[in-house]
Structure 1
């Protein structure tokens, strides 16, 4: 197993409502929010409410329930963003690119002929994020 889980990570604070986010979906299993530094327009994170450091540490039954939501949200993101494709990304540990040590999945819309930004290199305004979130929520 990997190193320990930090119960005070940024995602637990977002789940608790202690930090703001642009939420597009929430139920008893997960919360889904827009990434504030997206690789493309409509880049969404799906975050389980139950704490696990990453894919290696999560209970398989919890993961099965989470993946049902990942798929549902992916469909809504692809359609609402009029994307040509969708990249699903999940990293485990720093060497693999994980920066927040709470399991989460990135749903990144992909568009023909358009390159994605490097993650963390572009910040989107709150107004634009709110507009995108409303657009995606209509399909959920």
Structure 2
């Protein structure tokens, strides 16, 4: 059963410009920004602009746009942070770990010598997030259009 969309969720409010974020990418269909409670350095989120709680409520066009943006942002994160690996996830429902009821994709760099922090546990220092966003933006600028 599909959950009803709550247009007061934090990502809906970010999309409307009511809340700030460290935006790293935006196109007609998606926005990407740094996760304020990152699991690792460089943890970014890609959020479709379409109002959908999860993958099951997202249109095919919205899903295609989200994957395209996720791939582009992941390439930039990889260039900016040079991780040993990358985890890209998307949770559907609270039982699966979804903490915001708006579909989104996590881009989580993994480093061989660093443990992963808990999901949605500790807010990152804003100056660090700003610096991380600047690194990803610079890497995005180097990617072909």
- TM bucket (normalised to shorter chain) is over 0.9
Q: Give the unaligned 5+ runs of structure 1.
A: none
Deviation string for 1:20-72 (max 9, x for gaps)? Answer: 11111111111101111100001000001111110111111210121111100
**Aligned residues of 2:30 and 2:65 also touching (Cα < 8 A):** no
**What SS does the corresponding residue of 2:79 show, helix, strand or coil?**
helix
**What SS does the corresponding residue of 2:139 show, helix, strand or coil?**
coil
CA distance in 1: counterparts of 2:76 and 2:125, whole angstroms? 22
1:127: which partner in 2?
A: 127
CA distance in 2: counterparts of 1:124 and 1:63, whole angstroms? 29
**Aligned residues of 2:23 and 2:33 also touching (Cα < 8 A):** yes
**Aligned residues of 2:54 and 2:103 also touching (Cα < 8 A):** yes
How many pairs align?
140
Normalized against structure 2, the TM-score is what?
A: 0.93
Deviating beyond 6 angstroms after TM superposition, the runs of 4 or more aligned structure 1 residues are none
**What SS does the corresponding residue of 2:45 show, helix, strand or coil?**
strand
Aligned residue runs from structure 1 range 23-102, under 5 A? 23-102=23-102
Aligned residue runs from structure 1 range 109-120, under 5 A? 109-120=109-120
CA drift at 1:79: 1.4
Q: Give the unaligned 5+ runs of structure 2.
A: 141-145
CA distance in 1: counterparts of 2:66 and 2:120, whole angstroms? 25
CA drift at 1:125: 1.1
